[in-house]
Amino acid sequence: MSNEGDLDKRKVNIRVRIETCEKVLKKYGLPEDTGDSAAFVRALEDATRNVALFPEDYEAIAAEVRENLEKRLAKRRASK
């Protein structure tokens, strides 16, 4: 369904100092961005570009994606 989030994404809510936000927007923001999220995603991707994950990490990621799918299907069943 169109309003459902991607199964392989995790929503993160954090409080960040305003100064840090301004720095992220200055460094990673683009004129065509419609909000601040894109700049923060670019900053996170840049910060983690050379970080290697182990097979156990990928297994944990796959497990979380499966869990997200199970929750989505359960929610769909409950709404019918």
Q: pLDDT digit string (tens) for 51-62?
A: 999 999 999 999
**Which of 13-17, 69-73, 76-80 is the least confident region?**
76-80
Cβ neighbourhood burial of 72 (10 Å; 0-12, 13-18, 19+): middle
**Residue recorded with tokens 């990490």:** 57
Distance (Å, whole) CA 35 – CA 59 = 32
Q: What is the reported pTM?
A: 0.80
Say how many domains are in the chain.
Answer: 1
pLDDT mean over 16-42: 97
Confidence of residue 79 (pLDDT cuts 50, 70, 90): confident
- Structural domain span for residue 34: 18-79
